[in-house]
Chain A
Amino acid sequence: MSSIPKTPSRYRSRSDAKTPLTPSLVSAMNGVSLSSRKRDCIADISNPFITRSRPASPKRSSSSVSSQAHSGIIRKGGVESRLDVISRDYVPPQSSHKKEIKRSRSTPAPRDRDRAHSSGAGGDRFITARDEGDVANTLEMMSLNNNNASPGHTARLAAATGVPIGRRVLAYHEAPPSASSDPALSQQRELARPLYGRPGALPSSTGTTTNKSRRINTQPVKVLDAPGMVDDFYLNLTSWSSQNAVAVALGECTYIWRADTGNVTLLGEAPEGTYVSSVDYSNDGAYLGIGLGSGEVELWDIEAGQKLRTMAGHQGQIAVLSWNNHVLSSGCGDGSIWHHDVRVPRHKVMELLGHSGEVCGLRWRADGEMLASGGNDNVVNIWDGRVGDVGEGARGTAKWTKRNHTAAVKAIAWCPWQTNLLASGGGTNDATIHIWNSGTGARLHSIKTPAQVTGIHWSPHRKEFLSTHGYPTNAIMVHAYPSMERVAEIRDAHDSRVLYSAISPAGDLACTGAGDENLKFWQIWDTASTKKKKSENKDRPASSTTKSGILSIR
């Protein structure tokens, strides 16, 4: 065959190898004839570039015709040694002479095609319309031909895509790793997160919150059934006295639960047609103020278990009460705050007008110098507490008016160990706790919480305060002050929003009530070494209070 004279022309023979083998590719590479194999063997030996630069070409996924033939020959032919010698022999001149040699050997190309034409039935497919040798030569130099059966196609492709001639296009053998998370999903997640997501649990990504956090018992130490407890954000239905008794209003009834003994007594019922909307113990724990939905304020003697007087005058629901010695202040649904002097028949000694919405947060500072109030108009007012000798009808004006909250302010708490500090927390749209300096009126700290703030209580013994929250977390949270870091959190303390709360006089337990008709007691802080005792009020009406002062709980 014509292969023998072609043996020395090594470069030309590459196309030799290609041309006859292509049909054999069609016949699945198995029917390689002996003669062609021999010729291929020589051809491949003579093509050191392929041999050298692709030593592992059999492993390649893209099937290169010549290299496959090559591998087949090596396995069968037993000409490895010769192949080695020759290929090694031929390596050095490659880079410098390659192109030149190729060009110089281009002339035999027509002969190849002739041969191809004569040899195979499918061979005529490879007779291109262009019969000049340059085309074959060009194709030869192109590395594109590896995975193409048709050189004509290759030429067109080369022209169309501008793939450079004399270059190889290589890709890394493995595909890039797929994304660890589905990008579409993660985007969805990101978009959906603020809608229903609950904020992250305690060890948050900021990391800073964990260093001060501590474990607290997330189970209540006691649960009391509280049937009929109203689920109303604006009411204040629990109070814990310095005598260690908890007053709870359930509908129209007021119950006293004595923490020392565990006895429950029914104190009294509201008049027909109304309900109890707020309760508050006097500082010594001997009297209970009860605000009614009809606007009356009742005064009850705990020890005797009887009503002492009813102070009428308000037009709206009394959502909150706060005592300062003999003055009982009441916040009304019409936005007014009245000071009732419980000792005198004309009880209304002062009216504070500073809210346009219902007053739902009201708290006297322990020393009685200031009164803080929060309302449904999102305003926090701080009033001068000096009632003094002003007569009836005297009207006060707020010392500070704070409009930073964006929702109703129910949670109001004065700091027991730094008397200037006032904490206030806003409702659902706000969910922010602000700490104020009542002396300067400055806002000292703010903290955004995950849910509406329904109550704030400072720890008497620690630089911490707790806050209770509504939907979605229904949580009790403990924050450090002044870092405002979250120290502990009890998620889902109740099945519904935690509305009412009080802390024990010893400062270790917290009592919470909610619309799920449960009253739960939580061990938030350790029992303090010093028991907080309210200073006794001298000009308190002399009644049957026993100052036994049993303050410990069990």
Chain B
Amino acid sequence: MEKLMKTNRRDFLKVAATATGGLFIGFYWSGCDSPKMQVLTDEEVLSQAFNFNAYLSISPTGDIVIYSPNPELGQNIITSFPMIVAEELDADWAKVRVFQAPLDNEKYDRQLTGGSGAMPHSWERLRKAGATAKFLLVQAAATKLGVDASELTTSNGEVLHNGKKKFGYGELVSDASKLTAPDEVPLKDSKDFKIIGTPVKNVKNNEMFTGKPLFGLDFYREGMVHAMIQRPPFGMKIKSVDDTGARSVPGVTDVIVFKNNVAVVGNSTWPLMKAKRQLRIEYEPDGPIESSFDHDRIFKELLDSKNAQVMRKDGDVDAAFKNAAQVITSEYQCPFLSHSPMEPQNFFAHVKGDKVELVGPTQTPERARMETAQLLGIPKENITVEITRLGGGFGRRLRADFVVEAAELSKLLDKPVKVTWSREDDMTGGAYRPAVRYRFQAALDDQGNMVGYKLRGVGINAGNSTRENNFPSGSVDNLLIENIDYKSPITTNAWRAPITNFLAYAEQSFLDEVALAAKKDPVKFRLDLLARAKNNPVGEIHYDIDRMKGVIETVAEKSNWGKSKELMQGFSVYFSHRSYVAQVADIIMENGQPVLKKITAATDCGVVVHPTGANHQVRGGIVDGMGHAMFTNMTFENGLPKQRNFDSYRLIRMKEVPEIDVHYVDSGYDPTGLGEPALPPTGGAIANAIFAATGKRIRTQPFIEQKEFSEIRLQIRRA
């Protein structure tokens, strides 16, 4: 069945027979994987291509230009977005060239990467972009042939009549691009997809694997200066600066103090790294100066505070707990974390009078522009933002602090400048995942039914550390979710799967405790709660019960849940960012020692557009969730992180990763996002497997620093 889509959104208002131009520095297609005939240069193709819409131009040679508007940080939308356009266009993928579009909010909506939202947001738009152009090409062909368009079909970049090729798309673009785009276009039935759902190679492989300049840090401009910045500890301000030593380093041309920062400036990076160490900066307090033991005390105080914000309340919680046959209470805690993308923060800025050029790795180019406009008092129309590839983001690059400081320095220096953060700058520069402590309580009746549930979250700059309408809300008669947010000078920010990246671990571990106390199988316990929510919901339900049930049942089947005496298994399921992921971790005993062997995941993210990319996001999310749950800690002493580089800030490595078995549930939904949802369940699945294997419940991250964990001596080996 074909769907009819209206095309009157703003990305389609630009349909016109104008050739595309524009600036696409450093991005060019040269796939090494396919037998492409690279006859024309990108410039040649772009100069003669006809523009069909914001995403698509086609040249008379049949070369197809597809623009990917959203920042690329490893989620591979630079491949999967064009796949969707090419699918509906019936394009020959070998003739597709992909370009990263610069920021253009006249052409594009939501040109950002965050919240696992790019694919759900753009799915229809991209399909229509291809389908509309195909429609016009067919119309042009029909006119030329003097037949009705309904007699024509398309395949692989060609228009056919009675199954015979009549025109290549290139022969039609001049005529087609003059036609008016229709309000509605038919879209393909998913069973006819030829590109979507296939493992198309990443369009940037050749450039990535041969060392071409792609990332922000790879951007150099004739005449630019380099800068590095010493930023203050949290809660401190500059009292005095002695820059004598820094200025004496050969290659350093300037030292500038601005807004509590000290910038060293020069013509290359290394002298700046040396000069920064020579800076003698005296700081003085500018607010509370906190250490990790302060946070531990704050957690304890606030968990017992009388004043908490009620996020959700169902039934009569006090009565439920008073009359309970059994009450289970547990606390869970997670530390601050740095995002630590492999590419440290950096940005290029060139302020030229009332115009600004920005180039670099940002998840939010629009925010970069807005904050720069505000800072400099320059109209945002005068600011261009070129989006380079991002060497990871994880939420850190949603901010624009690293952009505006470059813009400010460029203005102060009156020069183009690239600001580079060292790893230490990146790790001490703030915007962390917040630290949170939770207290969970469950009331069971004498049948083992969960009749009461309480959660209080206390976060350090976490905002709302709960997800009050998420499961198990809706399945419990008496429920109270509370939040307390402590304001700290230590800055925090969204970190891949914000809040849920630790809430899921805590909640799914706690539900495991409750299932055990209720003497129920952990999977059955969840399914019973979901059945309750389905048949007799309590209050509002903000998750899809059937989709959650689907991934639970699939992961139970694929992991042989409960079927093997040899396997000690831990189960977890979580809904975040519109998608559902259930996981089972397997531990087996080898020579008397527990060995984590495998994690099985079942994911419902709707249509899997790009299986390679999807597998990457699921596996990568699990590795990310596992690594940080097990190994990574960030602690503070007097307003400064104690972990400043990868020698003390431990990231997961190859030998610490078990086998990961990935499955998908086809629920028939359009794509619902996958950059984040696989991460949240992992910590809980592992903690629950550890309990199943050893009887030790690990309630604090990172696991490796907990006394109970060191006694277990868990090994990790692939099956």
Q: Are these two chains actual partners, yes or no?
A: no
